[in-house]
Amino acid sequence: MNEMEKPTRVVVIPSPGFSHVASILEFAKRIVKLPNGIHVTLLIPTIANNGSPSEASKAILQSLPSTINYTFLPPIHDQELPQEAPIALTAQIAVSRSVPSIRHALMSLTSTSRLVAIVADLFGIDALILAKEMNLLSFVYCPSTAMTLSFCFFLPKLDDTVIGEFKEISEPVRIPGCVPVPGRDLPNPVQDRNSELYRNFLQRCKQLRFADGILVNSFREIEPGPIRELTEEGRGYPMVYPVGPIIQNGSGNETKFDQCLTWLDNHVPNSVIYVCFGSGGTLSQDQLNELAMGLELSGKKFLWVIRAPSESANASYLSGNNNNGGDPLRFLPSGFLDRTKKQGLVVPLWAPQAQILNHHAIGGFLTHCGWNSVLEGVMNGVPLIAWPLFAEQKMSAIFLSEDLKVALRVKANENGLVEREEVACVIRRLMEDEEYREIRRRMQSLKNVATESLQEEGSQNKILAQFAVHLMKN
């Protein structure tokens, strides 16, 4: 095959973790639809003894168009990873350890394709060394907010100017272009500056400036401040492409979960609160009990996607919806299912979230503030209850509740527990009070501009076209 016959190909490298794989895959689907005839190969790092891919992951991968193919890289074994390391650090190191396998895969692809670029997940930035090595363009895909990206660029300066822990700063941190954030609500990786996690995160933030471009899953209408800051000439940033909103339109296995939609069909509009902590969020047993009793106490209809409890808030992150704790329903308070059988529906592990949020019966969404979930809420105009668990979710909760004003945030007690009375109170506020109408109005406005951005002449296609031009110059 001569060079003219070879398809133009972009190699995409996610980090382990269903939410990161899902988001970057949806991005890949967008770029293969561009008129440039771009193909995509997904090289997926894996971790041994981490369970097989979840049903949702398999369904997404099996539904890919012919212009996207994927390969699971040889697994990284436990002895190659630090023991009891935070999941974010584990994911990053797994990608770093996979660089030899990625190099081998790239060399194989050169015989059949004209490689032009590598797009790596934010946790997979170490793989971009191969782009320089092979004279390819290098891009970072940020599946989170533009606010998070702005913070990443700002962190080295913050590190140089602040003494002590950020959570002890008396004044909120002013991230360029963003609403001020209390130090305690900055992302989890920066909460202990003496940790290896912090040092790795800081190094990753410094590496961002060496990429040829950064793709962020956001759009100007939802984050005008940080996007203006990131795209303004003279700031010294790489080219930033706000390619959002990128969300899943369904994973292909929704028919297994018709019970959710059938149950919702029997309820009046805006009457049900949907409760889900994403593909990896978990609650402690005490917190699960308080949430259950709070839902019951609220008196409101609910649809709750439940996972077995854990003391780690992101225990299921790397394994997606695989459940190592047995049937999660057995962890519910005694008699809860019987007492609430006319009030709510509890679904183990997974539910068709995109379809649920689009259902007329849904009046609110209690979410961990993962950006994929938030965007799905926005695209369906559903008011939010913000219950952040890990990563940058506390920062996102500040953005949603204090900047956009489309969410109410739960308040924890001095021990970090959100008590049942608080759960019931915030649900009633969202579903009954005057502020609900204001939140719904603001969320509907966001839905409208987000929908417009996805139209043929919308901002997403224009930004993706600019990205494609950048690609084809290589």
Residues belonging to the active site: 20, 121
Q: What is the DSSP string of 337-386?
A: HHHTTTTEEEEES---HHHHHTSTTEEEEEE---HHHHHHHHHTT--EEE
Q: Are 390 and 397 in contact (CB under 8 A)?
A: no
Q: Can you read off the two tokens belonging to residue 365?
A: 């969404």
- The conformation of residue 116, written as its DSSP 8-state character, comes to E
Distance CA 171, CA 168 (A): 9
Q: Which residues pair with 41 in a beta bridge?
A: 11, 69
* 447-452-458 Cα angle (round to 5): 145
Q: Are 213 and 240 in contact (CB under 8 A)?
A: yes
For residue 162, which of 202, 203, 204, 206 has the smallest C-alpha distance?
202
Supply φ then ψ for residue 269, to 5 degrees.
Answer: -55, 140
Distance CA 454, CA 456 (A): 7
Q: Which residues contact 386 (CB under 8 A, 6 or more apart)?
A: 367, 369, 396, 397, 400, 401, 407, 408, 409, 410
- Find the largest Cα–Cα distance for the chain: 69
Helix (H, G, I), strand (E, B) or coil at 71: strand
Per the rule left: phi > 0, alpha: psi between -120 and 50, beta: everything else, 405 is left
Q: What is the DSSP string of 305-346?
A: EE----SSTTTTTTTTT--TTS-GGGGSPTTHHHHTTTTEEE
Distance CA 387, CA 427 (A): 12
Q: Which residues contact 203 (CB under 8 A, 6 or more apart)?
A: none
